[in-house]
Amino acid sequence: MGNHHDSIALDWVRGEIQDTLTQGQHALEAYVENRDDTARLRFCLNYLHQVHGTLQMVELYGAALLTEEMEKLTQAILNESVSNVDEAVDILMQAILQLPQYLEHLTSSDGAAAHAQ
Amino acid sequence: MRRLPDMDAAQFHQWQTLLEHRTGITLSADRRSFLETNIGIRMREIGCSSFQAYYEKIVSGPDAVVEWATLVDRLTVQETRFFRDPDAFRLVSDYVLTRPREQLRKRALEAWSVGCSTGEEPYTLAMVLNECMNQLGMQPLFGVTGSDISKPAIDKAGKGQFSARKLLGMDEVLKDRYFRPAERNTVEIVKNIRDRVCFTRLNVLDLDTAPMHGMNIIFCQNLLIYFRRWRRREIVKRLAERLAPGGLLVLGQGELTDWQPPGLQRVPSEHVLAWIKRQADEE
């Protein structure tokens, strides 16, 4: 991570990502409540893609890669190509909840230094 | 208030190039004052006194990403209305009501409003689809996605709150059904409609990686006019790829002339510029 990534951009990004992930979480929960409501799963995918784009914009490629995987998993559920939907949804939910913690860790000075290497 | 220096031709060209490179939007020379005014307003807000210094801040400053997000909103967001193009929404309604029921039961309808600005168009689509589902006696499990390059615009859209004057001239029945009075002369979209709509930031130059696939209806009005001809065609081609077989693409009147997008069949209508994606076996 270069020097130009100072705290302004990261703080902004963290707030935006947290908000978008919360929206994704709600969409996923709505889908879990009603499996016929696949539109909500699509919404979750849209939110994840937005987070992915934001992470790329600030060049946090590790986290961006994780969200890309999350997108693929969501797309696979939508395409009905996962064998165990319950498990897939659980994993997705865990990832949504853990990503902000990971970013929190990155923005602490030690984390940022570690990421730069 | 101190007057900003005028933007010279070289500076205009520099900003014009940046905007087109990042958003695809092309500004003709007669839009120079639009660009100058809006950039000027933003420069005053942050106490920046030269176009050059601001340009550098946007391309390489420490908070370039944040500043760009603010500026792009000022340069791209358009005023829009509910039910702006009644003919187009009538077409959507006819289209949905004439789909085979079996198909509608099998898979929830999905619509996408590209370049949705502050959300009036996707909410209108959701209302139209809701009316259709009621008429068909089916569960309203459709989904509408609104996408726009501006984060402030989609944030506003997501709140679902609008000035009451936005409802002037709207059908009373629809008004009562889909809006509730909210604080200080505003109205709020009812929850069952808000639940069916999602807003996301998306740059139309990145359509190749966009997550929307198998869309039944794509609306893209008053966006292509800001793009060069070859780019309009590129965007329409990409959008066509995202349609489900038999899906409907609606553009604004006159936004794409002298060109037939491959794989699409023109809807015979004098008032709406729309196409249906051919089924695979018709190719």
pLDDT per position as a tens digit, B64-83 = 888 999 999 999 988 899 99
Token reading at A114? 């570690």
Token reading at B235? 């965007």
Q: Which residue type is seen at A85?
A: V
Task: Determine whether the interchain pair B202/A50 forms a contact, defined as Cβ–Cβ distance below 8 Å.
Answer: yes
Q: Which residue of B has its CA nearest to A76?
A: B211
CA B65 to chain centre: 22
Residue owning tokens 């259709």? B132
3-state SS assignment for residue B235: helix
Q: Which residue of A has its CA nearest to B152?
A: A16
Q: How many CB atoms lie within 10 A of CB B152?
A: 16
Give the per-residue pLDDT at A31: 97
Task: Determine whether the interchain pair A53/B141 forms a contact, defined as Cβ–Cβ distance below 8 Å.
Answer: no
A59 backbone φψ class: left, alpha, beta (φ>0; ψ -120 to 50): left
Distance CA A86, CA A15 (A): 29
Q: Is A47 an 8 Å CB contact of chain B? A: yes
Give the per-residue pLDDT at A113: 47
Q: Dmax of chain B from CA atoms?
A: 66
Evaluate the CA torsion angle B161, B92, B84, A44 in order and state its sign.
positive
Give the per-residue pLDDT at A1: 41
Using CB atoms, which residue from B65, B141, B195 is nearest to A36?
Answer: B141
Write the CA distances from A90 to A74, A82, B51, integer angstroms.
Answer: 11, 13, 50
Task: Determine whether the interchain pair A36/B212 forms a contact, defined as Cβ–Cβ distance below 8 Å.
Answer: no
Q: What is the pLDDT along chain B (283 residues), one digit of tens a residue?
A: 567 778 889 999 999 999 999 999 999 888 899 999 999 999 999 999 899 999 999 998 778 888 999 999 999 988 899 999 999 999 999 999 999 999 999 889 999 999 999 999 999 999 999 999 999 999 999 999 999 999 999 999 999 999 999 999 899 999 999 999 999 899 999 999 999 999 999 999 999 999 999 999 999 999 999 999 999 999 999 999 999 999 999 999 999 988 899 999 999 999 999 999 998 765 4
Distance CA A73, CA A86 (A): 12
Q: Which residue type is seen at A13?
A: V
Give the per-residue pLDDT at B221: 96
Using CB atoms, which residue from A4, A13, A46 is nearest to B211?
Answer: A46
* CA nearest to B51, candidates B61, B43, B62, B60: B43
Q: Is A45 an 8 Å CB contact of chain B? A: yes
* CA nearest to B277, candidates B256, B259, B262, B257: B262
Cα atoms in the Cβ-side hemisphere of radius 13 Å centred on A48: 30
CA distance, residue A25 to nearest chain B CA (Å): 13
Task: Determine whether the interchain pair B211/A57 forms a contact, defined as Cβ–Cβ distance below 8 Å.
Answer: no
Distance CA A112, CA B239 (A): 39
Write the burial class of residue A63 (CB in 10 Å: 0-12 exposed, 13-18 middle, 19+ buried): buried
- Sorted by sequence, the CB contacts under 8 Å of residue B16 that are 6+ apart come out as B26, B27, B35
CA B274 to chain centre: 16
Token reading at B48? 């920046």
Give the per-residue pLDDT at A114: 46
Q: What is the pLDDT along chain A (117 residues), one digit of tens a residue?
A: 444 445 677 777 888 999 999 999 999 999 999 999 999 999 999 999 999 999 998 888 999 999 999 999 999 999 999 999 999 999 999 999 999 988 888 766 544 444 444
- Sorted by sequence, the CB contacts under 8 Å of residue B188 that are 6+ apart come out as B160, B161, B162, B179, B180, B181, B182
CA A100 to chain centre: 8
CA B234 to chain centre: 17
* CA nearest to B113, candidates B152, B73, B138, B84: B84
B112 backbone φψ class: left, alpha, beta (φ>0; ψ -120 to 50): beta
- Contacts by A109-117 with C-beta closer than 8 Å and gap 24+? A112/A1, A112/A5, A115/A1, A115/A60, A115/A62, A116/A1, A116/A2
CA B6 to chain centre: 32
- Partners of B213 on chain A (C-beta within 8 Å) are 75
Count how many residues are written for chain B. Answer: 283
Token reading at B7? 């933007």
- Sorted by sequence, the CB contacts under 8 Å of residue A111 that are 6+ apart come out as A105
Provide the Cα torsion B240, B242, B245, B246; round to 10°.
Answer: -60
